[in-house]
């Protein structure tokens, strides 16, 4: 499950307070103003709490939670010097690690020893998967992210990560398809009519 792509990271205003990314009407992209920072721990706790019924419905199946990983790791939102002003610095990499701590703390409170497994995309993508996907991708210059979207990963990434988990794990492969499949899988036809059910 990929629960946090839209809410894990924020910008920083002139007073040092967190601000949400805003969509630029000119280029149609979301921009991080100021230094990139991780959202407060309460954000991760709330989303995890909201997802609790879905996680518990898996019963005895293994649940893997994908830790937040923003597209701004592989490239800034733009060339504006005041946007993601800490990109690539030691503080930037430390911010990328803060959500993992917040998620694991929330998991220990909610589940104790029966916690879902957490998995970091950062190490796999940066170290092993990036070059392989880049060579075979149809998504162009920035194949990691869906249509250059800085928060939703391309389907190939989830396939590659699933393979990595299968190789590293001691049980059946885990599926890491995004929770919101419609955001990464093109629909084969028109959307179903209201009330219709797809099986």
Query: Is the confidence at residue 170, as pLDDT, over 70?
Result: no
pTM equals 0.70
**Mean pLDDT, residues 94-107 taken together:** 90
Measure the CA angle with vertex 38, ends 129 and 104; round to 5°.
Answer: 75
For 57, counting Cβ atoms within 10 Å of its Cβ (0-12 exposed, 13-18 middle, 19+ buried), the class is exposed
Of residues 127 and 186, the one with the higher pLDDT is 127
Total residue length of the chain: 199
**Mean pLDDT, residues 76-93 taken together:** 89
**Mean pLDDT, residues 164-168 taken together:** 70
**Mean pLDDT, residues 67-78 taken together:** 79
- Give the pLDDT band of residue 140 (cuts 50, 70, 90): very low
Query: Is the confidence at residue 179, as pLDDT, over 70?
Result: no
Q: How does 103-139 read in b/e, with b if 16+ C-beta sit within 10 Å?
A: beebbeebeeeebbeebbbbebbeeebbeebeeeeeb
């Amino acid at each position: 499950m990929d629960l946090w792509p839209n809410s894990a990271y924020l910008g920083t205003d002139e007073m040092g307070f967190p601000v949400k990314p805003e969509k630029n009407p000119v280029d149609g992209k979301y921009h991080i103003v100021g230094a990139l920072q991780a959202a407060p721990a309460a954000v991760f706790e709330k989303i995890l709490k909201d997802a609790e019924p879905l996680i518990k419905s898996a019963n005895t199946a293994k649940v893997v939670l994908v830790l937040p990983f923003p597209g701004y790791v592989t490239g800034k939102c733009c060339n504006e010097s005041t946007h993601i002003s800490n990109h690539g610095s030691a503080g930037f990499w430390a911010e990328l690690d803060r959500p993992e701590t917040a998620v694991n703390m929330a998991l220990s409170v909610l589940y104790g020893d029966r916690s879902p497994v957490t998995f970091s995309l950062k190490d796999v993508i940066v170290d092993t998967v990036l070059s392989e996907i880049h060579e075979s991708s149809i998504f162009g210059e920035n194949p990691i992210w869906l249509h250059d979207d800085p928060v939703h990963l391309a389907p190939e990434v989830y396939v590659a990560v699933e393979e990595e988990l299968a190789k590293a794990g001691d049980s059946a492969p885990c599926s890491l398809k995004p929770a919101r499949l419609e955001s990464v899988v093109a629909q084969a036809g028109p959307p179903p009519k209201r009330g219709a059910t797809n099986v």
